[in-house]
A and B are shown apart, each in its own frame.
Chain A
């Protein structure tokens, strides 16, 4: 199908050319040429005209296209116009000069070739010959006249004859002679021209004739032919000159058309890829990357277009890759969002301005807020809803800080009750050294857990107390039964057994009393008697108790300007002693304890850091519960009492890991309003 169409077109063109050629052969009467030459010439003429028309058509089409490009300001039209103008100008100027010079030369040549001066000798010879023939004609005519009058004049070579009747083949001259009109004529012959004169004579005519020598006739004929040839050439002067100028004009036009065509072709070869690039760029800008600019040249433009195509391909691949990555990211986002919405911990994401960007369902349920109210809410407004001093303090501490991660347990008023939240705030950043992009707040409601833990702890306390109480009861019962048996048997060693048994009973009762005293102390701590005190003195009084004690080294670091705090000195001293005892036991009486004193935002911090084995995270939550002890023989009440003393002072104890090893117990106590601004020297 693809080859059939050009074949049909070619066949049609050939048939058309043959038909036109046949018509030309028929109508152009070139009978002086043989048939083959006529067909050949007509065929060439047809082909040339067809090709000329084709050239004119293509040039016209390209010029029209260039004109339309100029109107629409298509890409590359300026370059094409410039190139075509330069080409045509470069060709036109020499061609025009060549045309003018050649046509001038040709005209001059033809003028010279056919000038009358060149034929002057021939014309003179013709005039001379005519004069001779005129003379001979007059001489013969004169002889005939004389003969007609009857006088005789000697005329060498002239023959006189008389005719009384006209012959059948009489010439016009002879016929006119018989009608009374004289005349003379020349009859050309190869044997010699005859000059004949006819003069009427009575009823007949006198005919006088002379025969010229054949050589003279031959030379006269040759002169006539030369003269005729010259006339023919002069006759051709105008058409030859005109044809020559037309030829030159045609050649000039061919050159100009060819130059124009080549200029259009070259400019099109250059600008078409540029136009394609411009169109492709527009499509790419519109988002269509499935485009390739077609180019056939292997020059710099071809390389340029190929690079462009390669760039588009890479762009397309990048776009596909981005789309895939986006899809993957979106899938992952959905996955994470599902996780986020389904986990039981509350999650909030805050931007750097403190506005809540994201919240999950658990967070909204714990906060008791609707989604549309949470989104975009400032965290400061959120805090005020809970009326939580812990939260206020925490946020105040965080103001202006470069936060990495903060973990706190706080108490908040929510839903008409006091709840305990464990809150973890993490700064979200691209790398460790970069600034935070926002804050991720994760919080859990520990209220029920703590209640359960406390319940479990008190059950454990009850079990232990029962156990501890039962332990002395057994020896007491055994001793009592032994005494009764000895007394009933009236044994001789009753006295010794009595003493020993009663001593045992006394010991066990003392043990019970101590046990009751300890629990009594925890359950009924004495009322605190607050008074301004120097935290450094407090620390000093505690440290003095441990000076030279085992292999423990104690260092005290204190900031300058620590304000006094309103505390019960003795109770806080007891709390510190409990923490110190715990640390020394953890270090197995060997290590370094560093006590740091500092203040910030109305609080005084006393940190007791040891380099012992540290406390596992899962135990940190239960450390302050009564009777929680990992130590053999411990009551589990030391840290519980310390925590109770500190919380009774409105403070708290924070536990964190020491670096590189050990634990840090930080006692945080508010300074108290009356001591605000009072600084120690």
Chain B
């Protein structure tokens, strides 16, 4: 179980509102978090809702920034600038790695 998860590649979609403060923070926070806890096994796609509003509608994105974890399953959704790292890690199931 643990071995499988460690090998799994995390795919993220981060919906941002151009370069608004929260969105910029979320981008930075996600990047730092991935580097630290998922080195070498993550993919991040940044979607700007102003440039691609229909994608935002299709994915029911209401608040920005919203982080979608596409894989591994299940899909998870976190809103906010990801400043509460602990909360993000708990949600993504990466707690064990920290301890």
Please say whether chains A and B are actual partners in one complex.
no
Using a CB–CB distance below 8 Å, which chain A residues touch chain B?
Answer: none
Chain B interface (Cβ < 8 Å from any Cβ of A): none
